Amino acid sequence: MQRSVTSAWRWLLPATLLAWALSACMPHPSPSPLTPLPDTATSAPAASTATADHTLPATLPVEPSAVPPTAEPVCTPPSAWSLELKLSGGFAGVARSLTVSSRGQLTAVDESSGETASTTLSPQDLADLEPLVCAASQAPAAARLPACNDCFNYVLTISDGVTPHTWTWNDISLRDHPAVPLVQALRLWLQDLLDAP
C-alpha cells in the first residue's frame, strides 16, 4: 500500500508542474474594458418640468447718473406790479428817482433840477426786467447800513398792487445782494433818460 501511494505521487507531481507551465505560456484573453461611469460634472442635467421666469420687472432700476436733474422753479412776478428806485448821495449829492410799471412805462425825475423824462420799454426789455423784479422781491431785507462817505444810497420799493416792500442799501451793503442786477439796470435807464443830450 505504501508503494502504490509513492508511485502515484511520483507521477502526479510532474504532471501538475507540466500543466502549470503550459498554462503560463498560453495567451490570456484581455479583459473587457470597463464601461465608464457618467461624468456628473459635464453631463447635462435632467430635464425639469419647471419653466424659468423671464418676465421683466414692471419698473427697471435706473442708474442715479441717468436721472435728469430737477429744473429750478422759474420766478414770475405778479400780473400787475410797480417799483420805484430812489438814488441819492455821491460826490455831487444827487437826488433822482425812477418809477417802472408792469406795462413798461418808465418815468425819471431829477429832484434837484425838476427835470422829468418818460419812455416805454420794448416788449423784450420788459420780459428781461420781470425776472429781475421777481428775484429782488424775494430777497431778504438789507442789514444795517455800514458807514460809507460819498457812497450812493438806494431805496427800492416794489409793490404787487396790494403791499409795498422796501429795501435800503448803500454801495457797500448792496454788494452780492440778489437785487444788484435790477438796481444796475434801473440806474442805466435813469442815467439815459436824464443825461441824454
Range of the domain at 127: 82-195
For residue 32, being part of any structural domain is answered with no
For residue 158, being part of any structural domain is answered with yes
Q: How far is residue 98's CA from residue 106's CA, in Å, rounded to a whole number?
A: 7
For residue 91, being part of any structural domain is answered with yes
Distances (CA, A) of 137 to 14, 157, 177: 133, 9, 12
CATH number at residue 129: 3.30.1560.10
The total number of structural domains in the chain stands at 1
Query: Which pLDDT does position 175 carry in this prediction?
Result: 87
Query: Which pLDDT does position 8 carry in this prediction?
Result: 46
Q: How far is residue 110's CA from residue 108's CA, in Å, rounded to a whole number?
A: 7
Query: Which pLDDT does position 77 carry in this prediction?
Result: 65
For residue 161, what is the DSSP state? S
CA dihedral in degrees (7, 9, 14, 17; nearest 10)? 170
For residue 19, being part of any structural domain is answered with no
Asked if residue 117 lies in contact with residue 108, where contact means CB atoms within 8 angstroms, the answer is yes
User: Angle 180-183-184 (CA atoms, 0-180°, nearest 5)?
Assistant: 85
| The model scores a pTM over 0.75 | no
Using DSSP bridges, classify how beta strands 116-120 and 105-110 pair: parallel, antiparallel or unpaired.
antiparallel
One digit per residue, the tens of pLDDT, for the chain of length 197 reads: 444 444 444 544 455 545 554 554 555 454 444 444 455 444 455 444 444 444 444 444 445 445 455 555 566 666 789 999 999 998 888 999 999 999 999 999 999 999 999 999 999 999 999 999 988 888 887 677 888 888 999 999 999 888 899 999 999 999 888 899 999 999 999 999 998 77
Query: Which pLDDT does position 68 carry in this prediction?
Result: 52
For residue 95, being part of any structural domain is answered with yes
